[in-house]
């Protein structure tokens, strides 16, 4: 067990807490070892509002996942969401001390790490620094500068911030559940790892994660994350609308939404009704399916208008050749895909987390959009959010070597020929052989 890498993704949502236990199989696909989920009552609009209730929900989900996987869970990857999430662009630059050498991964990482020192709004902290494109000297819009020669390295970054107290509360819940947080990730980015393909990211795609408390947006273009946003409306506000519009209890409104809800009233029949039991033996109430659809459609149109405005403001609305991908529990509403296509005018599909999922009995349980974030958080332990990290050449790498009072940069190069053979090693061996031959041929060889 110690030799095997196992990752646990923990999605702390407004309506549910979900724990997914997984490992990579021999086919580089995620094999689900265990799944646990519980009802979330301590989270509001994606933010922890009750420490005790959230901790209890985490304990229940983790215990269920441990029983299902027969593995003791100590470390988790946690998702972050909520209306407190904000993002902005920032430009950064560094001057390279080695003008004649190549730009290394270390140089790129140094520039990225500098961005974590950027001053943000009081009470907020940076959770993601995502490079957009680089500039080397006067050459702009470079996707990956590693291996290039230059004096000045610059880049534009997409920086995501979160409320410090919200992050602190999440960590407090994790600690009270006797768990350790390995990494925190913005939930739409985690969901994108589970449902989006590399082709979609390259063409341009927006993932819309419709949760209980919020709707999260992430835009990819040319294989790079370009924009993120959080809209403070989700499935819960639709349930509240149904509760008020139909004059029913909260749990009845949720059941109506899940079992009979439609996103487009035009697809319903005027004669279709559903009967709701009366309170305390009162007369049962009949609810028109068409009226129910009108309530849902009105709120969904409002949410879609906000999404479309966010896509337009990002500057990528006309560049999304891959269209929209809907995921999260809210994406399971009937005809929601067609409503998005009608309102936004882009091809839309429902994002099921199956692209990187291996075949197993437990995998069938998680093939549901509501588990996309949990699966993505598990995948984050095996995949890089930025594909450039995987594509960078491994032949040249640099490391910092510190001695007393000095800090020197040492460059280690490996130049390989066909089949990974080291050219320099061959050259040195041939030179050594020639010297030995000369020594053997010279009888009076001295010194």
What is the token pair recorded at 363? 């995998």
Q: Per-residue confidence at 396, pLDDT binned at 50, 70, 90?
A: very low
How many other C-beta atoms lie within 10 A of the C-beta of residue 44? 15
CA distances from 369 to 14, 237, 258 (A): 15, 19, 14
Mean pLDDT of 388-403: 49
- List all residues 6 or more positions away from 242 whose beta carbon is below 8 Å from its beta carbon: 248, 253, 256, 257, 261, 292, 295, 296
Dihedrals phi, psi of 60, to nearest 5 degrees: -65, -45
Confidence band for 98, pLDDT divided at 50, 70 and 90: low
Helices (H) and strands (E) in the chain, counts: 12, 20
Among candidate residues 105, 162, 157, the one with its CA nearest the CA of residue 130: 157
CB atoms within 10 A of CB 25: 12
| 331 conformational bin, left if phi > 0, alpha if psi -120 to 50, beta if neither | alpha
Place 389 in a pLDDT band, splitting at 50, 70 and 90.
Answer: confident
Report yes or no on whether pTM surpasses 0.85: no
Q: What is the pLDDT of residue 385?
A: 77
DSSP string, 149-211: B-SEEEEEEEEEEEEHHHHHHHHHHHHHTT-EEEEEEEHHHHHHHHH--HHHHHH-EEEEEE-
Q: List pLDDT tens digits, range 188-241.
A: 999 999 999 999 999 999 999 999 989 999 999 999 999 999 999 999 999 999
What integer pLDDT is reported at residue 424 of this predicted model? 39
Which pLDDT value is given to residue 419? 32
Rounded CA gap, 436 and 428, in Å? 12
């Amino acid at each position: 067990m110690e030799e095997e890498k196992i990752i646990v993704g923990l999605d702390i949502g407004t309506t549910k807490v979900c724990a997914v236990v997984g490992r990579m199989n021999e086919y580089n696909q995620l094999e689900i070892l265990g799944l646990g989920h519980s009802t979330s009552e301590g989270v509001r609009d994606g933010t922890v509002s009750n420490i005790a209730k959230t901790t209890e929900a985490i304990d229940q989900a983790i215990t269920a996942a441990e029983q299902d996987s027969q593995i003791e869970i100590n470390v988790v990857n946690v998702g972050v969401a909520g209306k407190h999430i904000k993002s902005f662009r920032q430009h950064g630059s560094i001057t390279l001390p080695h003008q004649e050498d190549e730009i290394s991964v270390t140089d790129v990482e140094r520039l990225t790490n500098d961005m974590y020192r950027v001053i943000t709004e009081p009470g907020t902290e940076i959770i993601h620094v995502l490079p957009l494109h680089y500039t080397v000297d006067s050459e702009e819009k470079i996707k990956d500068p590693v291996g290039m020669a230059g004096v000045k390295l610059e880049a534009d970054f997409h920086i995501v911030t979160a409320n410090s107290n919200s992050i602190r509360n999440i960590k407090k819940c994790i600690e009270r559940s006797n768990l350790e947080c390995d990494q925190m990730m913005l939930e739409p980015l985690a969901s994108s790892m589970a449902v989006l393909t590399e082709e979609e990211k390259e063409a341009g795609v927006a993932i819309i994660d419709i949760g209980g408390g919020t709707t999260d947006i992430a835009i990819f273009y040319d294989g790079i994350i370009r924009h993120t946003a959080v809209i403070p409306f989700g499935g819960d506000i639709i349930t509240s609308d149904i509760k008020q519009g139909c004059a029913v209890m909260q749990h009845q409104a949720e059941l109506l939404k899940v079992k009979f809800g439609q996103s487009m009233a035009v697809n319903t029949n005027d004669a279709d009704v559903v009967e709701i039991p009366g309170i305390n033996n009162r007369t049962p109430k009949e609810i028109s399916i068409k009226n129910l659809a009108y309530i849902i459609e009105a709120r969904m149109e409002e949410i879609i208008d906000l999404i479309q405005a966010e896509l337009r403001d990002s500057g990528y609305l006309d560049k999304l050749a891959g269209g929209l991908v809907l995921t999260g529990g809210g994406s399971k509403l009937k005809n929601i895909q067609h409503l998005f296509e009608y309102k936004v005018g882009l091809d839309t599909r429902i994002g099921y987390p199956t692209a990187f999922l291996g075949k197993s009995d437990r995998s069938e349980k998680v093939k549901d959009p509501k588990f996309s974030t949990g699966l993505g958080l598990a995948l984050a332990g095996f995949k890089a959010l930025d594909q450039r990290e995987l594509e960078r050449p491994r032949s040249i790498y640099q490391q910092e070597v510190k001695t007393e009072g000095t800090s020197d940069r040492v460059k280690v190069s490996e130049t390989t020929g066909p089949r990974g053979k080291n050219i320099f090693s061959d050259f040195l061996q041939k030179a050594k052989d020639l010297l030995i031959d000369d020594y053997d041929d010279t009888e009076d060889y001295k010194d």
